[in-house]
Every structure is written in structure tokens, then in C-alpha cells.
Amino acid sequence: MADETTLYANRRLLPRLLPLLETPQTGREEVLEAHVLLGDALRARATDIHLDPHQEFLRIRLRIDGRVIEAVRIDAVTGARLVNQFKVLAGLNPVPSLPAADGSFSWPPGEEGSEETFLRVTAVSCVAGEKMAIRFLSPPETFQDTLSLGIGEQGARGIRRWMDATGGMLLVAGPTGSGKTTTLYTLLNQLRLTDSHVITLEDPVEYEIPGINQIQVDVASGLDFVTGTRSMLRLDPDYVLIGEIRDPDSARAAQNVSGSGRSLMGTLHSRDAVGVVSSLRHLGLGDAEISANLGLVVAQRLVRRLCEHCRHRGALPAREAEWLDAMGMSLPTEAWLPGGCDRCDGLGFRGRTGVFEVWQPTAADHGLILRHADESQLRRGLLERGETLMLQDGLNKAEQGITSLGEVLRMGALLPS
């Protein structure tokens, strides 16, 4: 079991479910634990609920601000009842099966003025029992401007320059869950308010954006990325968005759009900004095609924000000191640390912000790409001209008290090579 302090802090995440579970079923009203858990999870700003089986108990964990936090452990019988309640709500067969089963349902929070909530449920049999994950399907948050995302003024100016120009690719790079969609939707929201004509080609169209023409890829009907972009260009767009460039067809479609003089936006899985060159090469684009079309790259990660109500300065933790020392950096005597209060449910963090690097390739960079330079050569060029890389942006945010060094330490794989 977790230690007493952790249990006390995390009990605050389920203020209505725990008293219900502690009341014998014979002595309480007929209330579905699943409904109460959903209400508590929404209040705690969770994006996912995990029900993890063990031989004698079931763990309830919530993903809050990107981290999975254990909230409570309940006995196996109560856990099985809770799993079955969610299966009924999602229209799943109550009998466990070996293949993963997926379902969905909408749920009214029951609070006046609240919107309907849509959820996706996935269940799969594990050795210890049935594992279940419930995801809240809410549209990504959008911001009024790129500065609100956490991009610095220099990066925001680069994005504005690209948006004012004509043609070329703007790629938002990062792993799954790094906030790429939020960045793209923020840019789309800005374009929606202008006199630009914007069309998207997505697979799938996850969220509708008022004022934007969105097209769903339908390969079975002959509408794939290549044929779709060919048709889209006849619609005279100023900007085209391809949701995710993840295969040779979508990469070729993106190159066709940007090569036609239109501005292309998309997301791509990549370690950092210069890593998009390797990713595009892997997807079949040649160096000349990449150099001619790559206009701007926004690479990003998400880190948790320190709670402004309980953050405090304290001695530099030993782990962070070791890490900074290994990087050859000077060690501060103090650092911003998480606390724990009612505003953040005792977690010390509330919300997330982006850590970014914005790369607008120069003539020298294009020359390196044409000479088939690798990532380390391209990255060295950014460092030599004083560009702020993602790791440095994270360290700057830790120094300002926006996040903690511990959060930046989780990005340790981003050490420049």
C-alpha cells in the first residue's frame, strides 16, 4: 500500500465515491458507483480513469495533467461490480473476453448548465482480472494566441511570419500526448477569425471546428490522402491541414500541397525539431523535397504547472542536482518545489504548459539538408547560432517557477547530442 501521506492526499480526489464505498450496500440508496466515480474524476480534471485488477483488490487510478495517480484500492468484489457497471453503460458484453472490447456512452453530469460528456471504454482480460480504461472525449483546449500556449515571443513571431507568408509546411512535432493537437487547433482558431480559406483532411475528424471546412478520409470510397488533397486544391484553399503525417501517402500529400504554393499544417511524431527531417526521409521524401517545402517546425512536450498557491522555494533535491551536474551546468542553491493544498488536491501541480523549440530553417540549414546532414549536424547549427532548444526552454520555465526541475528531468532524453 501507498504510505499514509499519499493515501490522505489522494483520498481528496474521490470525495463522493469513498464515503459511498464505505457504506454497506444494504444501508444506502441505489446509486451507481460508476456515476459517482465519473463525477469525482471530472471534478479532479482527469482525462482518463484506469481500473487495474489485482488478485485481492482493484486499483482506481486517474490520469491528471498527464500523470497517472492512484486514488484508492477497493476489494475485488466491489471492483468487479464497478467494472460491470461501466460495461453496461458502454453496451459491452458483461462476460470477460480475451480480445480487447471497445464501447462508448454519453453521460450527463447532472449539474445544471453542464454539457453532456462522451466517454470511450476499453476492457481487456489480464492475468489478474479484467483491466478497464475510460477516457473522457473532450475537444482539446484552444487558446487565443500562441503565447498562451507557452511559446516564447521569438517563437510566436516565427509562427506569425509563417502564417503571413504563402506556401511551405508548418509541422508540429512530438510524441503522442505532447499537446500537438492543441497547438494546431489554436492556430486554426486564429485562422478562422481571418479572411483565409482553410480546409482540413483528417483521419478521423475527431472534433468539429466552426468556420473550418473539414473532410473525412474514406479509403473504402476512394478518398485517401493523395486523391483528397488533389480535390482540395481545386477548392482554392489558402491553408490546408492534414491531421497527422504518419505514412508515405500522407507525407506525399503534404508535399504536394506545399509544393503547389499553399500553406500546409500537420503533426508528425519526432524527438525534436530537427528530427522531423529524419521522419520525413523515413516516409519517403527526398532531401530536395524536404528542403524546398519545410517552412517551420514547432517541437513540444507538456510539463505540469506548479500550483501557484502552494509552490515554494527550497533546497535543490539531490536527484535534480546530480542531473544538472552530469550536464555540466551550475547548481542553484534553491529551486521551486511542489507543495500541496486544497486548490491542487494536494498534488502540488495544477494544469500543464508546453515546452517548445521553434525552428525556422535558414539558408545554411537548407544546405545541410540537401547534403543529407544528420540530426546532430542540424542541431549543432541551432546551438551555434543561439537558438533556444526544448531542454533550455524547460529549464527557463523551472527557473521562473512555472514548473519544477523534476518535471524537466522527465525530459532528460532531450539532451542535445
Task: From 83, 107, 136, give the residue that closes a domain.
Answer: 136
How many of the other CB atoms lie within 10 Å of CB of 67? 14
Residue with cell 550536464: 327
Answer for the pair 119, 137: CB distance below 8 angstroms, yes or no. yes
Task: From 136, 164, 191, give the residue that closes a domain.
Answer: 136
Mean per-residue pLDDT for 88-94?
Answer: 93
Name which of 415, 403, 412, 414 is nearest 66 in CA terms: 403
**Whether residue 74 is found in the same domain as residue 163:** no
pLDDT of residue 110: 54
Would residue 322 count as lying in a domain? yes
Q: How many whole angstroms from its chain centre is CA 42?
A: 18
**Whether residue 166 is found in the same domain as residue 243:** yes
**Whether residue 300 is found in the same domain as residue 326:** yes
Q: Taking 70 as the threshold, does the pLDDT of residue 1 lie above it?
A: no
At residue 7 the predicted structure's pLDDT band, cuts being 50, 70 and 90, is: very low
Strands (E), 210-311: 213-216, 239-244, 263-268, 294-306
Per this entry, what is the length of the chain?
417
Would residue 191 count as lying in a domain? yes
**Whether residue 91 is found in the same domain as residue 155:** no
**Of 217-231, 294-308, 310-324, the least confident:** 217-231
Residue with cell 480480445: 99
Would residue 363 count as lying in a domain? yes
**Whether residue 182 is found in the same domain as residue 123:** no
At residue 141 the predicted structure's pLDDT band, cuts being 50, 70 and 90, is: confident
The full DSSP string for 2-54 is --HHHHHHHHTT-TTHHHHHTS-GGGS----HHHHHHHHHHHTTEEEEEEEE-
> What 3-state class would DSSP assign to 95?
coil
End-to-end CA distance of the chain: 41
Q: Taking 90 as the threshold, does the pLDDT of residue 206 lie above it?
A: no
**Whether residue 96 is found in the same domain as residue 240:** no
pLDDT of residue 74: 92
Answer for the pair 17, 33: CB distance below 8 angstroms, yes or no. yes
Would residue 323 count as lying in a domain? yes
Would residue 253 count as lying in a domain? yes
Mean per-residue pLDDT for 305-331?
Answer: 93
Q: What is the overall mean pLDDT for the chain?
A: 89
**Whether residue 131 is found in the same domain as residue 153:** no
Would residue 372 count as lying in a domain? yes
Measured CA distances, 59 to 93, 124, 131, 225 (Å): 22, 15, 10, 42
**Whether residue 153 is found in the same domain as residue 44:** no
Answer for the pair 275, 299: CB distance below 8 angstroms, yes or no. yes
Task: From 115, 136, 157, give the residue that closes a domain.
Answer: 136
**Whether residue 218 is found in the same domain as residue 292:** yes
**Whether residue 114 is found in the same domain as residue 189:** no
* 42-83 pLDDT per residue, tens: 999 999 999 999 988 999 999 999 999 999 999 999 999 999
Question: Residue 167 gets which letter from DSSP?
Answer: S
Question: Residue 338 gets which letter from DSSP?
Answer: -
Answer for the pair 39, 18: CB distance below 8 angstroms, yes or no. no
Q: What is the CATH number of the domain that holds 124?
A: 3.30.450.90
Name which of 260, 362, 258, 346 is nearest 310 in CA terms: 346
Q: What is the CATH number of the domain that holds 269?
A: 3.40.50.300
At residue 115 the predicted structure's pLDDT band, cuts being 50, 70 and 90, is: confident
Q: Taking 80 as the threshold, does the pLDDT of residue 27 lie above it?
A: no
Would residue 141 count as lying in a domain? no
Number of structural domains (the chain) is: 2
* Burial class, 14, CB count within 10 angstroms (exposed 0-12 / middle 13-18 / buried 19+): buried
**Whether residue 217 is found in the same domain as residue 75:** no
Would residue 54 count as lying in a domain? yes
**H-state helical runs in 178-286:** 180-192, 225-233, 248-259, 275-282
* 255-281 pLDDT per residue, tens: 999 998 899 999 999 999 999 999 999
**Whether residue 194 is found in the same domain as residue 53:** no
Which residue segment(s) compose the domain that 99 sits in?
A: 4-136
* Burial class, 81, CB count within 10 angstroms (exposed 0-12 / middle 13-18 / buried 19+): middle
